[in-house]
A and B are shown apart, each in its own frame.
Chain A
């Protein structure tokens, strides 16, 4: 009050005001594929009541959402759909990867399951558990709000800076060989021979 502002006026940064508004009105897009989806329902239902934290407006159209919750395992056939939904969401947007399967593939280390959605789309928050309890998801939403308040900018500058994938790359040596073999099979014929020649050289 030392500056002598009139009543009902306060000064803040534009970023802080925008973050305050954004963080308290997250609109989740539930990308619920499997078991975690049921726990997501439980989080929204009577006992746990996600509405207490201003994030209960589940919108099933990605155009209206700013928080993608990937709940459940994502398999080869589903990943292009997930990427398309992520691209359809307007900025600023965030992503919570809920459950062991979405984070890392979980118990499903098989031919069909993508080993963590963070390899192919950006992820801001990971929730462990198989499936996570509703309390854990609530905690993640609260942490997400904190993150938005701390790092957000009005024009979304913090997103532009991150132009490389933050997810892990296949680290397993055996796995890399398999990928190489698979691409050779796909190339087939002449180009396969060319690749082998290049490798030899």
Chain B
């Protein structure tokens, strides 16, 4: 088990911890994020990145930041899991990329960029991954409607005589 004191002494006092069910959440600021993640990988054995995702808190009661980005880590040897959360805000949501630490972060960060518009600095190839290149919006943001803005109807129609 990684103790909170150990993390706080290494990466600063503002790191917070929370536990819900058997999930442990560590809240860090975006400034020390890369240090914390690389430290956890190198010295605490969190060798596997399970997932990267983001949450849009727009209109969520009591939320102070617009987005959270969540990193789920796993220690393959002991099976210990840790969830690292950090907050980013508009107008320029940006975080450092962790591609250099885990190769699997490549696509996961591209997906977060595609769906939420959060960009990752130093990412080798930050393009849209799921939506078409020319798509203008970020669909998983809360201000984007479920049924879209009519993009799905925007195609030429082929009739029988042309076919």
Interface residues of A (CB under 8 A from B): 76-77, 79-80, 83, 86-87, 89, 91, 93, 109-115, 119-122, 159-167, 170, 175, 178-183, 185
Contacts and interface: CB of A to CB of B under 8 A. Distances in A.
Contacts of B144: 111
Q: What interface size band does chain B fall in?
A: 20 to 34
A114 B152 contact: yes
A160 B157 contact: no
Contact of A112 (B139, B154, B159, B160): B139
A109 to B, nearest CB: 6
A111 B147 contact: yes
Given A76-B132, A80-B155, A120-B155, A182 B160 contact: no
A111 B156 CA distance: 18
15 contacts: A80-B155, A86-B163, A87-B162, A93-B163, A111-B152, A112-B139, A114-B152, A115-B153, A122-B163, A159-B160, A159-B161, A163-B161, A166-B159, A170-B153, A179-B154
B57 to A, nearest CB: 21
A122 B160 CA distance: 6
Given A115-B152, A185-B136, A178 B157 contact: no
Contact of A119 (B131, B147, B151, B153): B153
B46 to A, nearest CB: 34
The 5 closest A-B pairs by CB, nearest first: A111-B148, A179-B150, A162-B160, A182-B150, A163-B161
Nearest to A174: B147
Contacts of A185: 136, 149
B129 to A, nearest CB: 11
A194 to B, nearest CB: 20
Contacts of B156: 83, 120
Contacts of B103: none
Nearest to A167: B157
A121 B151 CA distance: 17
B146 interface: yes
A113 B152 contact: yes
Contacts of B152: 76, 111-115
